[in-house]
Amino acid sequence: MKSEPIPFILEAKEISFSYADNTRALDRISVSIPRGKKTAFIGPNGAGKTTLFLHFNGILKPNQGSICYEGQEVHYSHASLLNLRKNVGIVFQDPETQLFSASVQQEISFGPVNLGLPKEKIRERVNQAMAETGITGLKDKPTHFLSYGQKKRVAIADILAMQPKVLICDEPTAWLDVKYAAQIMELFDLINRTGVTIIFSTHDIDLAYSWADYIFLMKNGKIIGEGLPERIFYNRPLLAETELERPWLIDIYEELNRKGWVASNVPPRTRQELIGHIREKMS
């Protein structure tokens, strides 16, 4: 008999981590990532988001506590690490540090080759990843000829080609212009619809509010709040503690609501929803 899959695909249980210079980056953090959802980590620089992500992928090993993937504790043996890294892919913030190969196609093939797939399969995956990220035209280009936005796409394709179950993206929209950022978030939506769990970190609360299914707030290596976006962003004391602004959507919605200019009692999550609420009331 096949049992129901557990609701959390990745879990960190009471993990602590200090870097070699004794800076405590993570302080007894417990996190459960819901399967198939889009989870956002928000927090100021130095909150420990990247350090936590590196734990999810087995690059860093916690000083205390444990990481579980699919309910199984990661043992940091060669085999279990490979299994974890095959299923949990990280797109790093600066694509410059991720790209090493001379051509885009070779760059993307690195992951699948490491997975030991047959050649045809690798070619298929590379082509698919390039098509999904819209970089098929750059196939044979040397990586140093690409623009920043293109490099970011290649970095994402790098991981997509490995077809992970969990896709982690550190600051996906950092340094990108509005158009590229929107395209990348659309791409994540698309990937998410195929059943891939998505985790990302961001400073952009408006983005997190509109886009995430679940939110963790981090500060000084601790989780200081978690929950559904509509819950988190209406919790004023919590926001004050993290020194975060409220999403503009909520401010405007509350103001309009006070004046009785919006129809629904359900707070809008996107610009379109808010406009819809106002139009409904007016008509």
Partner 1 sequence: MIICLALSTPITSLLVILLMAGIVIFAGRIPALFYLKLMFLPMFFLVAGVLTVAFSFSPKDTYLFLWGFKLGGYTLGVTATSLATAQALFLKSLGAVSCLYFLSLTTPMVEILAVLKKLKLPSLFIELMTLVYRFIFVMLETADKILISQSSRWGYATVKTSYFSLGQLGANLFTKSYHHSQMLFTTLLARCYQGNLNVLERSYPLSRKNLAIFVAVELLLLALGLWFKA
- 122 forms part of the interface with partner 1 (CB under 8 A): yes
The rounded distance, in Å, linking the Cα atoms of 275 and 230 is 18
Residue in 32, 39, 98, 150 binding partner 1, rule: CB under 8 A:
98
Please report how close the Cβ of residue 258 comes to partner 1 at its closest, in angstroms. Answer: 48
Give 79's contacts (C-beta < 8 A, 6+ positions apart): none
- 97 forms part of the interface with partner 1 (CB under 8 A): yes
The rounded distance, in Å, linking the Cα atoms of 101 and 82 is 21
- Could you tell me how many residues of this chain bind partner 1 (CB under 8 A)? 39
3-state secondary structure 150-215: HHHHHHHHHHHCCCCCEEEEECCCCCCCHHHHHHHHHHHHHHHHCCCEEEEEECCHHHHHHHCCEE
Q: Which is nearer to partner 1, 103 or 235 (CB)?
A: 103
Q: Which is nearer to partner 1, 113 or 238 (CB)?
A: 113
- 86 forms part of the interface with partner 1 (CB under 8 A): yes
Please state, as a whole number, how many other Cβ atoms lie within 10 Å of the Cβ of residue 65: 16
- 152 forms part of the interface with partner 1 (CB under 8 A): no
Q: Exposed, middle or buried by CB within 10 Å (0-12, 13-18, 19+), for 155?
A: buried
Whether the CA torsion 177, 179, 180, 181 is positive or negative: it is positive
* Contact stretch for partner 1 (CB under 8 A) within 112-120, 240-248, 253-261, 275-283: 112-120
Residue in 38, 85, 153, 277 binding partner 1, rule: CB under 8 A:
85
Residue in 66, 106, 192, 235 binding partner 1, rule: CB under 8 A:
106
The rounded distance, in Å, linking the Cα atoms of 40 and 25 is 19
* Contact stretch for partner 1 (CB under 8 A) within 1-9, 116-124, 203-211, 267-275: 116-124
Whether the CA torsion 10, 202, 265, 243 is positive or negative: it is positive
Please report how close the Cβ of residue 17 comes to partner 1 at its closest, in angstroms. Answer: 15
Residue in 68, 115, 224, 252 binding partner 1, rule: CB under 8 A:
115
In this structure, what DSSP letter does residue 138 have?
Answer: G
Residue in 142, 251, 272, 275 binding partner 1, rule: CB under 8 A:
142
- 62 forms part of the interface with partner 1 (CB under 8 A): no
Enumerate binding residues for partner 1 (CB under 8 A). Answer: 54, 57, 59, 82, 85-86, 89-90, 92, 94, 96-103, 105-107, 109-115, 119, 122-123, 126, 140, 142-144, 158-159, 162
